[in-house]
Structure 1
Amino acid sequence: MEDEAKNPMHPVLLILLGSLGYCYFFVTKIPKGILRLLFLLPIFYLFSILPWHFPSAFGRGISSFFIAWITSFKLLLFSFDRGPLFFPHKNFFDFALVSVFPLKIKENISPSPNQPLIALTKLLLGTVLPILILFYAIYKENNSPKFTLFLYGLTALAWLYVFGTMVRYELVPLLNHPYFATSLQDFWGRRWNRMSSDILRQSVYDPTRDTLMGVIGFGPAKVVAIITTLVVSGIMHEMVLYYITCGKKPTWEMAWFFVLHGLCMVMEAGLKQLARQRGWGPVPPAVSIILTVGLAIVTCNWWLVLPVWRSSQRECRFR
């Protein structure tokens, strides 16, 4: 964390805000489809290089997940008028928040008589806040202690106001009691990292299933869609690890972890169908939970935790 404090963040913020501004004010005017996707390709490239600005593994991991992966996939869905960014956002502030953070805008909120004043104040603070942070980042070496404290106070007040007025936003829960998962499908689809699961479902699973359903049938199309989704998830996790380890050659252990779980999900669905055909009773929930969570913990330790631990690479120079 200290490395991030020493390394100025204003280039990252400027590139991120500028890229999202380009998407909101220009790309939204482009017709949906391949043409809009082509106009987003430069943004995908910029987001892919942003994590290298962070010298610590923590900074690269967080930025690669939320910006290089999640935000890019949200924009990919937006190319075809799908996903959370397709929601008609009233202003750039809403668009930027939903693009980067696990937030969604609540619907059916009763209007307030002071809504114009609140919106104006929020817009000003939403602009002033990044400027204050950038100003401090650029001139912090020359700041007096009193002026530094003053900037900290203004920034804290701005954040308090912004988050205090975020009644229009709803946090997308990342976890939903994963230790109660009774199957791998339940674990990955409804309980673990629900934000990335939802993004992968909309961007990979649904298009793959819908495309193949008329060719090979619903059942086989569902199987291929599951495997494809888990493979893409594995590749994206390898990408995050690539950033964390400063570009070390991938071992693909993470990718194989998700491929294994995809195959296990297919086998799990097949066994459930066989059990229904044979008239077998359901597995007791306690047994299902132990088997599911146990498999997740053991395989996660082998193919997710150990690869990161073995890399032993924590810092790299700015690229």
Structure 2
Amino acid sequence: MGGPLALSHPNIVHFISIASLPITPKQNPSINNNNTSKPKWLLPLKALIFAMIARVYEYNAYWHPHFVLVLYCCHLYLGLELVLVLLATPVRTLLGFEIEPQFNEPYLSTSLQDFWGHRWNLTVTRIIFYVLQYTTPYAVTCFFVLHGVCTVVEVSVKKVALRRGWRLHRVVLIPLVVAFMVALRIGYFFLSC
């Protein structure tokens, strides 16, 4: 027999909070990787971009509808990230522990593996999945099956490319992954309508 599925928390409030809220406590909060620390100006910059996009909506009659859709997707992402960062502060203050960040700059992903494995928090994915499954269960299933198939194809292509010595630079990979994710999101919105 193995041990418990998770470390038991000595405080019942911590246990109930972790069990009922979509939060994941940091395993080693005292360890702070310099690689993952973000500049302090990044969050205010995101808040500024969020506010600027909201202001641009006043002129959406002058913009192409596809551009407005891209702005809406950016606005939604930034709003969700800002809200989750703001919600982490009371959790830290009231419960006394650090929680895992919900995002790690997913727009800088260099592959689908990087996006799903390192940059997009599974807690957020679970929340969105449960909200959407009641409205469009087949679209959600198709969306994730397509991502799974594309990830398998990506891994296979990477293996062949690495054997042949081919390697693309991040400057090329990041726009490719972002374009792929945007195209799938737009397809998902049309399937769910």
Instruction: Compare the two structures and name the one with the higher helix fraction.
Output: 1
Hey, what's the Cα distance between the residues in 1 that align with 2:179 and 2:91?
41
Q: Measure how far apart 1:165 and its partner are.
A: 4.6
In the superposition, relative to structure 1, how do residues 283 and 170 fare at CA in structure 2: closer, same or farther (>3 Å)? same
**CA–CA distance in structure 2, aligned partners of residues 262 and 180 of structure 1:** 20
Query: CA–CA distance in 2 between the matches of 1:108 and 1:174?
Result: 15
For residue 180 of structure 1, what is the aligned residue in structure 2?
Answer: 108
Please report how far the alpha carbon of residue 278 of structure 1 lies from its aligned counterpart in structure 2 after TM superposition. 1.6
Confirm whether residue 296 of structure 1 aligns to residue 150 of structure 2: no
Give the alignment partner of residue 255 of structure 1, picking from 141, 160, 164: 141
User: Which of residues 70, 91, 99 in structure 2 aligns to 1:171?
Assistant: 99
The one-letter amino acid paired with 1:190 is H
Structure 1 residue 240 and structure 2 residue 131: aligned?
A: yes
Alignment partner of 1:274 out of 160, 181, 187:
160
Alignment equivalent of 1:93, drawn from 3, 9, 13: 13
State the shift of 1:177 in Å: 0.5
- Conservation of the 8 A alpha-carbon contact between 1:175 and 1:194: no
CA deviations 1:93-117 (Å, max 9, x no partner) are 01011112314166688xxxxxxxx
Contact 1:177–1:191 (8 Å) recurs in 2: yes
Rounded Cα–Cα distance in structure 2 between residues aligned with 1:290 and 1:180: 9
Which amino acid in 1 is paired with 2:111? S
> TM-score scaled to structure 1, two decimals?
0.36
Structure 2: unaligned runs, 5 residues or longer = 31-88
3-state SS, counterpart of residue 252 of structure 1: helix
CA distance in 2, matches of 1:195, 1:279: 36
- Verify the 8 A CA contact 1:253 1:307 in the aligned structure 2: yes
CA displacement at 1:251 relative to structure 2: 5.6
Task: State percent identity of aligned pairs.
Answer: 32
Distance 1:261 1:91, change over 3 A: same
Q: Does 1:286 align with 2:171?
A: yes
User: Could you state the TM-score of these two structures normalised by the residue count of structure 2?
Assistant: 0.58
Shift of 1:172: 1.5
2:157 maps to amino acid? L
- Map 1:31-180 to 2 at 5 A: 81-82=4-5, 86-99=6-19, 100-104=21-25, 164-167=93-96, 169-180=97-108
Deviation at 1:179, TM superposition (A): 0.8
CA deviation string 1:28-49 (max 9, x = no partner): xxxx78xxxxxxxxxxxxxxxx
Q: Give the total of aligned pairs.
A: 133
How big is each residue's C-alpha offset from its partner over 1:1-57, in whole Å with a ceiling of 9 and x where there is no partner? Answer: xxxxxxxxxxxxxxxxxxxxxxxxxxxxxxx78xxxxxxxxxxxxxxxxxxxxxxxx
Q: What letter matches 1:90 in structure 2?
A: P
One-letter code aligned to 1:104: P
